[in-house]
Amino acid sequence: MIGRILFSTTMLASVVTSAALAQEPPTSVGEVVVTAQKREQKLQDVPISMEVVSGDKLSDFNAGDFKAIFKFTPNVTVETTAGNDVIYIRGFGSPPANFSFDQSVSLYVDGIYAGRSRQAQAPFFDLARVEVLRGPQGALFGKNTPAGAISVVSAGPTAAFEGSVKGVYSFDLKGPEISGYVSGPISEHLGARLAVKFVDQDGYIKNLANGEDEPSNRSALARLTLRYAPTETFDYTLKTEYADKRVRGGLNVANALTGGQKPADVRFSTQNRLGPEGTKVTSWMVSGTGNLQLGDYTLTAISGYSLFHSNIINNFDQSIPAGGTTRNSVFNSFPEHFRQWSQEVRLLSPTDRPFEYVVGAYYDTSLYQLTQLGGFDVNIPGVLVYAGVLNTEYRQRAQSFSMFGQGTYKITDQFRAVGSLRYTQTDKRGHFFGRLLAGPFALRPVNTRANGDLSEDKVDPSITLQYDIAPAVMVYATYGRGSKSGGFVSNVYGTTNATFQFLPEKSENYEAGIKSTLADGRLVLNVSVYDTSFEDLQVSVYNSTLQVFQTGNAASASSRGVEGSMAWYPAPNLDFTLSAAYQDAKYDDYPGAACLATQALTQCNPAVPASVAANNIAGARLPYTSKYSYSLQGHYRLDLANDMVIDTTVGLHGRSKYFDSDNQSPQFGIQTGYSKIDARIQYGPSDERWHVAVVGKNLTDERTTGSAFNLPFPITANARAILYLEETRNISIEAGLKF
């Protein structure tokens, strides 16, 4: 790894050397405007540890999903699995194994809450920015944000007509990606923007059974935005997103249970009885935002509708038939149906008074349906033969209502006190049943039913003190609470009323930070320290011995750390950005936890329920958490003759080692620390009316995994680890045109 870091440092140093050619006056960092507190503010004025990634930066590296966010935001990670991809902030997130979990890190797309990963298949194209807020955001975002929130803001209609088209061809994924938009006024008061994106690419893992490169991606995405502003006091924006995504094949590969993670880029998988392996998702998301000026006040109403249908079919068998032996097979499928309607209304006061505030109310209602099919075709000569299909059905209706407010009192011109409060009422009703559809199956009870109702009230307060110690230097200290509602176990075989329901989780956060803009705007330095603790943390871990997921609440966990960011313009056309974080995330008390691989059988035996019930893994690290993570980018623009430009960006991001298996196996469950290098070189005129570029991601071809688990005997004849391989090296060529 040291060699790779030195290589990347040399690349960045060459960029710095080139800056000596420039003779223009210094360039400032510039102001970044965000809406993290429900009104437009400068990023440096917001007392929250947050990162903002511009839409242009994401587009430059062809971001396609949430895993791209990690490249720019330390202490933010994404767990990749066969089910849901889950976002973690400061070590906390909702495990993907239980599909009905609301997420501890909430996603908002143009103001609409999207608590399920497949609600938003089309967020990462034609964006204005992505705001990542670390820590509980229980007051203003409110809906299930005990760990943090991510707000995606898409681009809106422009005052003048413009358009763009961009084509990308990936040499490694062997296929194109085409995107573009047109935007401008339709009439004096009506503007529109239509953005589309099409992807037709293969995968980065060779399936030896069929010769295909998996997982292939065939996607069609579109977003239409209309903005109507008949007067200076009223405007209404309607956004409609559509996504159709077809992924064929899987991204899991086999690995030995000993010797560490050594993921190969080959797999062996054939079609199972449930159909071809892959994912199919169709989603719609509609938002309508109206703003009405009432004198100096602004009344805002946001209506949202979200719908998706999806099906995931997974294979996990990686053994190749040899000598006439029948291949073992295990597979599953998860058809999902979801719809949600929401409404938010809020009132913003003017900002030129000693006391300013925002107050509002929020309501949503949703219906979620999940079918699970699990299949086993096992033939182990001399041991056993069985084949069967298990089935579970889950239905949930939910609704929530909340009232919220935040006020800022200007004690002096430099000193401000900010207080906020949200009250939330949540009601859920869940139904579950499981059955054996076909074949003998005696390893666990499957014919079970469960029903549950819950009604909860939560109050999430926060208070912040903010002081300007200099004209461009602000310090702050915050105390806040967040919460997430309880729920039901949606897809664990053998679930009964006794194991169906889990409790809400609560978080508490202490944070202090400094935000500074120095050197005439050429240097921005921000640092924060935090102490976050969770009670009744919702967990779901796989017990490979009992071959079941254990879903419920851990007693408590905490994360403490430091986060910092820097933006620096040392010379004309040259800039650097750096973000880094340290965290110490661990369980403080977790009785009844599943056994860890590091525990001796005398301490915890997974085959003995009494042993597990007495187990407490207090002090163990939280999974998927690295102590250190960072992101570094260097950017230089070289002006040539005839108004032509070479624009170069080199990025380096990485993290220290982390456990990515539920049992924290030191053999197959540790992803070692790594650094990945991305680079982009673009050539074209200075007004960017056209360009050509070469884009490289993960240039050193680091083999990293998003998660791992043990596929045990007798489900398979040869017990082994299954690793979820993240994208390997990808080099592409790009061409774009603006008009």
pLDDT tens-digit series, residues 328-383? 578 899 999 999 999 999 999 999 899 999 999 999 999 999 999 988 777 666 66
Residue 679 has pLDDT above 90, yes or no: yes
Q: Are 146 and 506 in contact (CB under 8 A)?
A: yes
DSSP letter for each residue of 280-333: EEEEEEEEEEEEEEETTEEEEEEEEEEEEEEEEEEE---PPP-TTPPPPEEEEE
Q: How far is CA 295 from CA 232, 233, 349, in A?
A: 11, 9, 10
> In angstroms, rounded to a whole number, what is the distance separating the alpha carbons of residues 642 and 344?
52
Predicted local distance difference test score (pLDDT) of residue 568: 95
Determine the 3-state secondary structure of 55 from DSSP. Answer: helix
Torsion angle of C-alpha atoms 292, 297, 303, 304, degrees rounded to 10: 120
The mean pLDDT of 219-242, rounded to a whole number, is: 96
At 117, is the pLDDT very low, low, confident or very high (cuts 50, 70, 90)? confident
Predicted local distance difference test score (pLDDT) of residue 440: 66
Q: Are 537 and 600 in contact (CB under 8 A)?
A: no
At 1, is the pLDDT very low, low, confident or very high (cuts 50, 70, 90)? very low
Residue 632: CB partners within 8 Å, gap ≥ 6?
12, 576, 577, 578, 579, 651, 652, 653
Torsion angle of C-alpha atoms 455, 394, 549, 379, degrees rounded to 10: 170
Pairing of strands 384-410, 415-438: antiparallel
> In angstroms, rounded to a whole number, what is the distance separating the alpha carbons of residues 420 and 408?
9
pLDDT tens for residues 259-315?
A: 999 999 999 988 888 899 999 999 999 999 999 999 999 999 999 999 999 999 998
CB-based burial of residue 458 (10 Å sphere; 0-12 exposed, 13-18 middle, 19+ buried)?
Answer: buried
Residue 218: CB partners within 8 Å, gap ≥ 6?
199, 200, 245, 246, 247, 248
Q: Using the 8-state DSSP alphabet, how is residue 497 labeled? A: H
Q: Which two tokens stand for residue 712?
A: 């045990």
Predicted local distance difference test score (pLDDT) of residue 273: 86
Nearest 5°: the CA angle 681, 682, 687 is 150
The mean pLDDT of 186-210, rounded to a whole number, is: 96
Predicted local distance difference test score (pLDDT) of residue 198: 96
> In angstroms, rounded to a whole number, what is the distance separating the alpha carbons of residues 733 and 694?
5
Predicted local distance difference test score (pLDDT) of residue 217: 94
Determine the 3-state secondary structure of 488 from DSSP. Answer: strand
Pick the more confident residue, 389 or 214: 214
Domain of 506, CATH number, reads 2.40.170.20
Residue 3 has pLDDT above 70, yes or no: no
pLDDT tens for residues 685-711?
A: 999 999 999 999 999 999 999 999 888
Predicted local distance difference test score (pLDDT) of residue 8: 37
At 546, is the pLDDT very low, low, confident or very high (cuts 50, 70, 90)? low
How crowded is the C-beta side of 660, counted as CA atoms within 13 Å? Answer: 29
Q: Are 511 and 152 in contact (CB under 8 A)?
A: no
Q: Which amino acid appears at position 543 of this protein?
A: N
**pTM for the model:** 0.90
> In angstroms, rounded to a whole number, what is the distance separating the alpha carbons of residues 86 and 84?
6
**Spatial CA neighbour of 53 closest among 131, 135, 111, 153:** 131
Q: Are 84 and 281 in contact (CB under 8 A)?
A: no
Predicted local distance difference test score (pLDDT) of residue 21: 32
Q: Are 302 and 288 in contact (CB under 8 A)?
A: yes
Q: Which amino acid appears at position 422 of this protein?
A: R
Q: How many domains does the chain have?
A: 1
**Spatial CA neighbour of 282 closest among 119, 445, 145:** 119
Predicted local distance difference test score (pLDDT) of residue 272: 86
Residue 326 has pLDDT above 50, yes or no: no
Residue written as tokens 């977790």?
590
pLDDT tens for residues 475-505?
A: 999 999 999 999 999 999 889 999 999 999 9
Share of the chain above pLDDT 70, in %: 91
Residue 121 has pLDDT above 60, yes or no: yes
Q: How far is CA 550 from CA 415, 435, 490, in A?
A: 49, 19, 12
Residue 18 has pLDDT above 60, yes or no: no
Within 10 angstroms of residue 689's Cβ, the number of other Cβ atoms is 12
Q: How far is CA 42 from CA 31, 47, 412, 498, in A?
A: 6, 11, 20, 50
Q: Using the 8-state DSSP alphabet, how is residue 704 labeled? A: -
pLDDT tens for residues 410-464?
A: 999 999 999 999 999 999 999 999 998 877 655 556 789 999 999 999 999 999 9
Q: Are 485 and 452 in contact (CB under 8 A)?
A: no
Q: How far is CA 540 from CA 94, 135, 612, in A?
A: 8, 22, 15
CA 509 to chain centre: 21
Pairing of strands 190-201, 216-231: antiparallel
> In angstroms, rounded to a whole number, what is the distance separating the alpha carbons of residues 312 and 277?
8
Residue 17 has pLDDT above 90, yes or no: no
**Spatial CA neighbour of 254 closest among 213, 172, 315:** 315
Predicted local distance difference test score (pLDDT) of residue 12: 34
DSSP letter for each residue of 37-48: TSS-EEGGG--S
Predicted local distance difference test score (pLDDT) of residue 569: 94
At 545, is the pLDDT very low, low, confident or very high (cuts 50, 70, 90)? low
Helix (H) / strand (E) containing 17? helix 2-18
Residues in a beta bridge with 337: 309, 369
Domain range for residue 329? 2-738
The mean pLDDT of 643-671, rounded to a whole number, is: 95
pLDDT tens for residues 79-111?
A: 777 667 788 999 998 888 888 988 888 889 999
> In angstroms, rounded to a whole number, what is the distance separating the alpha carbons of residues 652 and 580?
12
The mean pLDDT of 542-571, rounded to a whole number, is: 86
Residues in a beta bridge with 133: 50, 149
Determine the 3-state secondary structure of 13 from DSSP. Answer: helix
Predicted local distance difference test score (pLDDT) of residue 323: 43
At 722, is the pLDDT very low, low, confident or very high (cuts 50, 70, 90)? very high
Predicted local distance difference test score (pLDDT) of residue 142: 65
- Per DSSP, helices labelled H in 229-284 are none
Residue 628 has pLDDT above 90, yes or no: yes
Query: Where would I find the beta strands (DSSP E) of 110-233?
Result: 112-114, 127-134, 148-154, 162-170, 175-185, 190-201, 205-207, 213-214, 216-231
> For residue 188, is it left (φ>0), alpha (ψ between -120 and 50) or beta?
alpha
At 23, is the pLDDT very low, low, confident or very high (cuts 50, 70, 90)? very low
> In angstroms, rounded to a whole number, what is the distance separating the alpha carbons of residues 491 and 545?
18
Q: 274-297 b/e with 16+ CB inside 10 Å = b?
A: beebbbbbbbbbbbbbbbeeeeee
